[in-house]
Amino acid sequence: MAIVKVWIEEGCTVCNECESAAPEVFKILDETSVILAEARQDGVEGLNETEKSPLAGDLGSELEDEINEAIEACPVEVIKFEAD
Ligand code: SF4
């Protein structure tokens, strides 16, 4: 199973767990974590909540464990995903 899309909903508490687990995908800004432009097929940095851009290249399979770790570590469960 690979992760196809990952996005962040409202409510991030900027705890840094996701960036620690998967720094290739998540980046902490002042008020929220975002999905890095390089990690997204559309190349746009942001929550990816409305666009739901797929992950770039093979990131969803290469970093599946790290992304899952970030999802499980999020204390407010705002990291959402689609997998195939
Ligand atoms: S783990 Fe969750 S609450 Fe913490 S920075 Fe990431 S998205 Fe925000």
Q: Which residue has the tokens 């969803």?
A: 60
Model confidence over 9-51: pLDDT tens digits? 999 999 999 999 999 999 999 999 999 999 999 999 999 999 9
Q: Chain centroid to CA 32: how far?
A: 12
30-51 burial string, b = 16+ CB within 10 Å, else e? eebbbbbeebbeeeeebbbeee
Would the CB of 71 count as within 6 Å of ligand 1? no
Domain ranges of the chain: 3-83
Whether the model clears a pTM of 0.85, i.e. scores above it, the answer is yes
Model confidence over 64-82: pLDDT tens digits? 999 999 999 999 999 999 9
Is CATH 3.30.70.20 correct for 3-83? Answer: yes
Q: If you measure from the C-alpha of residue 35 to the centroid of ligand 1, how many angstroms do you get, rounded to a whole number?
A: 11
CA angle, residues 76, 77, 80, in degrees to nearest 5: 150
